[in-house]
Amino acid sequence: MTKHFLILLFVIISTGTSYSRPFLSDTLVVAFWNLENLFDTINDPMKNDEDFLPEGKQKWNAKRYDEKLTKLASVIRLMNEGRGPDILGVCEIENELVLADLSGKYLEEFGYEIVHIEGPDERSIDVSLFFKKDKFRFLAKTGHKVELPSGSPTRLILEIDMLYAGHIPITFFVNHWPSRRGGSEESERNRIKSASVLRSRIDTLLKTDANSRIIIMGDFNDEPQNISIESILGAKNFECNGDKSGINVLNNLSYTQKQAGFGSYKYRDQWNMLDQIIISSALLEGSLSYICNSFEVFKPGIMIIRSGQYQGAPDRTYAGEKYLGGFSDHFPVIAKFIYISK
């Protein structure tokens, strides 16, 4: 008996010491979505929200609000193979209340927490962030004000500092830059100003720590090759092929998809890549790194118009004042990262 026990003990010890400790891994899914005028039905006397009230031009009521939240949730639920994104930046939302309704009543199973700062936009159009509390620990938030040349108020650039996996710091920026109203060239200076504000903050972070992990997302109302993105912000295209010579300080994950003819927003017959995800070089290698070519414009079948003049475009909520009952006029965008730790 003793001999057999010693042999068994030797086998157990030998087997146990012949393998190193297994790797722990996780896939981090980051998404951004313009939710197209997600307003509640309550009048805010401090904001210009009169169009989106039951008696307003859009005839926005409780039934339509519920339909909108239900449809938004159905798309979010499809992301990340039915698990919902781990991080979701959003824009065109009125306030934190609509986010609480969306996450608490329609996406409760994902355990999302909300990061929000009320911005100065006169229509009460804000940016915000959802995150899964089992993966992230919230540290701090800052709203960076953009002073436009015209003096008109515009959306804040929302900065959020988080800890991922208990020890990896990541700084997120959620953006919704000024629109192209009045023409893309005429309004370009407004987006250049937004890019300058964001770049100044990025430079401060990188000066403190050149290896800062930074994820920038948003509806920029410009495309990857436009001056505001490529020149002022300095977000460049890179070849995701393992060649480190193609790494930039800021790397625009959407650039390649734009070059291939894809977009997140369709204007007339033209696809525009207005919604983008940009990352710092520290996220191209290391324990948390971008999964090569994982950036995608997320186009679930349920939100694609199947026929007619707008075939292939996202099924939107409104066309002007006409209620269509759809999801949003933008498709979401997604990027994936792999975390590996011993």
Q: What is the pLDDT of residues 4-32, one digit of tens each?
A: 433 333 333 333 333 233 447 899 999 99
Mean of the per-residue pLDDT values of the chain:
90
Task: Identify the pLDDT of residue 234.
Answer: 97
Query: What's the pLDDT score for residue 25?
Result: 86
Query: What average pLDDT does range 130-147 have in this prediction?
Result: 97
- Domains of the chain in sequence order: 24-341 (3.60.10.10)
Q: Can you give the pLDDT at residue 269?
A: 86
In terms of residues, how long is the chain?
342
d(CA 132, CA 54): 33
Instruction: Tell me if 93 sits within 8 A of 68, measured CB to CB.
Output: no
What's the longest Cα–Cα distance across the chain?
90
pLDDT of residue 185: 81
Task: Find the range with the poorest average confidence among 85-94, 117-126, 263-272.
Answer: 117-126
Please indicate, yes or no, whether the overall pTM of this predicted structure exceeds 0.75.
yes
Average pLDDT score over residue span 227-240: 94
CA atoms within 13 A on the CB side of 332: 28
Written in H, E and C, the secondary structure of the chain is CHHHHHHHHHHHHHHHHCCCCCCEEEEEEEEEEEEEEECCCCCCCCCCCHHHCCCCCCCCCHHHHHHHHHHHHHHHHHHHHHCCCCEEEEEEECCHHHHHHHHHHHCHHHCEEEEECCCCCCCCCEEEEEEECCCEEEEEEEEECCCCCCCCCCCCEEEEEEEECCCEEEEEEEEECCCCCCCCCCCHHHHHHHHHHHHHHHHHHHHHCCCCCEEEEEECCCCCCCHHHHHHHCEECCCCCCCHHHCCCEEECCHHHHHCCCCCEEECCEEECCEEEEEEHHHHCCCEEECCCCCEECCCHHHECCCCCCCCCECCCEECCEECCCCCCCCCEEEEEEEEEC
Query: Which of 143-157, 231-245, 327-341 shows the lowest per-residue confidence on average (mean pLDDT)?
Result: 231-245
- Give 20's Cβ-side CA count (13 Å radius): 4
**Separation of alpha carbons 96 and 126, rounded Å:** 9
Burial of 323 from C-beta contacts in 10 A (0-12 / 13-18 / 19+): middle
Sheet strand arrangement including 235-236: 136-144, 157-164, 168-176, 214-219, 275-280, 250-252, 235-236
φ and ψ at 189, to 5 degrees?
-60, -30
